[in-house]
Structure 1
Amino acid sequence: MSDDTFIENETACDCCDWVNTIPPMQHNERLRCERCKHPIVTVSKKTAQLLLANSSAAIVLFALSLTYEFLGFSSNGITQQISLWDCINALLIEHFTALGAIVSVTLVVLPLIYLFSILLLSFSLIVKSKHHRYTRWLLLSLETIQPWLMVDVFMLGGLVALVKLKSLAEVSLGVSFWAFAAYTFLLIRTVCYVDKRWLWNQFFGQSEKIDIKQKASSARNQGLIGCQFCGALNPSTNRTCSRCHHVIMSRKPASLKRTIALLIGASILYVPANLFPIMNTTFLGTTEHSTIIGGVLLLWALKSYPVALVILIASVLVPIAKILSLFWLCWQYHFATDLPAIKKQKIYHLTELVGRWSMVDIFVVAILSALVQLGTLMNIVPGIAAMSFCAVVILTMLAAMSFDPRLVWDISEETKVDESES
């Protein structure tokens, strides 16, 4: 099969469960769902070559970003320089081990697994060696890892840390900083070119042909299940997907219960995350405790208004908005309003998109605690709220993943049936 084309059977939309017929697609074409307009598949020209070039270049740049100086800090004749690895090591060994483990996994382990997976898969496509034991597992891992890639969030955290440090001392940017910036750009490009349906189609061909009884209907109403991993349609009697062999279900089991439980946990942890200090700064023997709001006020006082707004939105407003939005979406399943399902779906996607950016404050703390270690003159360490806030971000992300947006369309369909019967 040419990498410029895409020939597939019907598929169910991941967001609304609508059965869509996929026409033969050429390069630079995108197919959207007929009902909710969510992108289903995108076919780019020379996708395999682009994936190979971007992933391999990103890996090289990441290796360079670990090798040289990342940031430099000078105050009263005392100079401190750190590498990217020092940021992680400072948390793992000197401060919060659990927090350091989370940062290292999201910043190093998962991105490298993702990039090497893309590298192997794209190379296999180019040399036309598609049938390996590891192929299926690599494809399945991509969908799981992608939401947890935090490299771009860390880059924003680095810029925020620079603004904070400029008020205290002279800051210099090392070679690794620019290498990491280029690595971030290439990783984002790689993610943009990854399309799960296209990859499964290239490696394992078309999914099994299913007889569609109703053209304009959801998969569930036709006794079908759309696989959330490869996009293949399966009879509802199947327990595993006929193409990717992953366990399939018509809807996520106990979706609302798990979402609400995770949101309650995030709401509880959000209180200590804001009441207690997220960062402790010691200067000439005097220790100052800084909360999240305190950090925003400090940046505002320094006239760094754009950065203060970024932290306010990402660390204060986004977690609250995400918790309230998901609670509201769960409420809508039992007490639906007149708001169209497509608008509820947009609210969900926006909530899912912005959630991980709240990690920016954690990365700022990680960078500052590694860089500002000047003995008795000045040092910065994470506060006890850092772990609580990190847990809030993770729990809200898991809550968004647990929520099944297809439930929004299910209740919309039931409402329409009730209205037609009455």
Structure 2
Amino acid sequence: MACCNVCGYVLYRQSYFTLDGWLSLVLTTLVVFGIANYFPIATLNVQAMTVHANLPHALYLTWQQGHYTLSVMTGMFAFWLPLSQILCCLWALTAIRSRRLPADFPYGMRLLGFAEPWSMVPVLMLAILVALVKFAGFATIVPGPAILAFGVLTVLLTALSRLSSLRLWRHAEDAGLVPFATAGDISGDALHSCCLACGMVQPVPADGRGVPCVRCRSTTHYRKPRPFSRVWALIIAAWIAYVPANVLPVMRIRTAVSDAEHTILGGVIELWRLGSLDLAVIVFVASVVVPMTKLLALMVLMTQGRWRGHRVQRQRTRLYELVEFIGQWSMLDVFVVILMTSMANFPGISQVMAGPAAVSFGLVVILTMMAAMSYDPRRGWDARNGESDTARSPAPAQAPARAAAPSAQQGKA
């Protein structure tokens, strides 16, 4: 493992898996993904009525109820983007193994890089457990094959997250299919930066203009452009969307004797009353604590730009990594609502419909994740020399946290 000697960020991690090992893992993940989405998660029985609940059916019912935005949003995060991640990895590994890279390989790697942070199968798995607990006293529940498949899929996708687009580019380097990740001599006084799409280290202009990457042709900047205005705009928009997400009902439960609306905190209280204290705490942390933590942490990172020492800046970098790590877990309540729509579909007895807060809460998750992606932690390290945003004098010992990636030969050394 190669780490930055300034901030400690992992630049390269050697894998024990060969190409064939990764290919076997990807094929297994694809099979398990098909099982998880084809077979029912659970079979529910109420008064001689039976429902076979699965994810595609839940998305279809949400669409039928008129919640088009919610259906598309959750379908992307729980189905299409995880599937895109698996298929992109399979396609890239097959191409590298055959020693022939297609001309659109850089575009496929960009798609993989986009899909990776938005693939939320682990959050969906936790939402399945929460939804089943909520229906434990209402219906007879028989777990289906998909619930085990989603558990296995969570483990496999977590392992597959190590096979990032940058790692695939390095596998292509080792196979001699693409140039190594350093364009020319980087020991001089020219300003260099790392392409965030393929990891290529190359010269960039000092005025901050973007230049096409010499390897994948994506636009490369010395630093992410306009981070201050972009991040603050996303933070403010997320705070605005956070208000209706907590005030408005997140779902509506209609039974033969009642018609009630529930907010996010109402769902936490209901789990607590049902005796599921552990799940109540998990839902409260994921739906209330995590969004506020992300927003407050981003505000702290944006308001403290003055250099306060190496140790403080390392703590700020760790804080940013925490914000990135917890980003997707706030989608828990949105997935729970979608799943309950399918599980409680007993016409005349009970029905669950999504409320307006579900879309608002999903929007908060998207905005906070986009704000974290727009923030550039390297600028905090730049502040130690009092350098401007557009021109900085580089030095080997002052390499930014993510500005350089070692070549395959350097990583192996």
Shorter-chain TM-score tier: 0.7 to 0.9
1:400 maps to a residue whose letter is: A
Q: What is the aligned counterpart of 1:311 among 283, 293, 297?
A: 283
1:51 maps to a residue whose letter is: W
* 1:180 corresponding residue in structure 2: 150
- Structure 2 counterpart SS, 1:373: coil
1:375 maps to a residue whose letter is: P
Tell me: CA distance 1:413–1:48, structure 2 relative to 1, closer, same or farther (3 Å).
farther
* 1:401 corresponding residue in structure 2: 373
2:8 maps to a residue whose letter is: K
Is 1:146 equivalent to 2:116 in the alignment?
yes
* 1:227 corresponding residue in structure 2: 195
* 1:211 corresponding residue in structure 2: 185
Is 1:414 equivalent to 2:382 in the alignment?
no
Is 1:236 equivalent to 2:204 in the alignment?
yes
375-384 or 256-265, which deviates more: 375-384
Q: Deviations over 1:169-223 (max 9, x none)?
A: 2222111222222222222221123361524534413134443447xxxxxx851
- Structure 2 counterpart SS, 1:81: strand
* 1:249 corresponding residue in structure 2: 221
1:63 maps to a residue whose letter is: G
* 1:390 corresponding residue in structure 2: 362
* 1:4 corresponding residue in structure 2: none
Q: Which consecutive unaligned segments of at least 5 residues does structure 2 have?
A: 393-413
* 1:48 corresponding residue in structure 2: 19
180-189 or 115-124, which deviates more: 180-189
2:270 maps to a residue whose letter is: L
Cα distance in structure 2, aligned partners of 1:336 and 1:77? 67
Cα distance in structure 2, aligned partners of 1:336 and 1:303? 49
- Structure 1 counterpart SS, 2:135: helix
Cα distance in structure 2, aligned partners of 1:92 and 1:134? 34
Tell me: CA distance 1:330–1:368, structure 2 relative to 1, closer, same or farther (3 Å).
same
140-149 or 389-398, which deviates more: 140-149
Q: Which consecutive unaligned segments of at least 5 residues does structure 1 have?
A: 1-29, 215-220, 418-422
* 1:121 corresponding residue in structure 2: 92
Cα distance in structure 2, aligned partners of 1:261 and 1:127? 46
137-146 or 229-238, which deviates more: 229-238
* 1:284 corresponding residue in structure 2: 256
Q: Superposition pairs for residues 71-86 of structure 1, below 5 Å?
A: 71-86=42-57
Tell me: CA distance 1:179–1:297, structure 2 relative to 1, closer, same or farther (3 Å).
same
Cα distance in structure 2, aligned partners of 1:255 and 1:266? 16
Tell me: CA distance 1:269–1:209, structure 2 relative to 1, closer, same or farther (3 Å).
closer
**1:277 touches 1:384 (CA, 8 Å); kept in 2?**
yes
**1:139 touches 1:200 (CA, 8 Å); kept in 2?**
no
Cα distance in structure 1, aligned partners of 2:246 and 2:164? 37
- Structure 2 counterpart SS, 1:193: coil
Deviation at 1:165, TM superposition (A): 1.0
- Structure 1 counterpart SS, 2:223: coil
- Structure 2 counterpart SS, 1:69: coil
Deviation at 1:337, TM superposition (A): 4.8
**1:279 touches 1:383 (CA, 8 Å); kept in 2?**
yes
Q: Superposition pairs for residues 12-91 of structure 1, below 5 Å?
A: 30-91=1-62
Q: Deviations over 1:15-46 (max 9, x none)?
A: xxxxxxxxxxxxxxx11111111111112134
Q: Deviations over 1:380-406 (max 9, x none)?
A: 111111111111111111111111111
- Structure 1 counterpart SS, 2:218: coil
- Structure 2 counterpart SS, 1:231: coil
* 2:411 corresponding residue in structure 1: none
Q: Superposition pairs for residues 321-332 of structure 1, below 5 Å?
A: 321-332=293-304
* 2:82 corresponding residue in structure 1: 111
1:60 maps to a residue whose letter is: V
Deviation at 1:274, TM superposition (A): 0.4
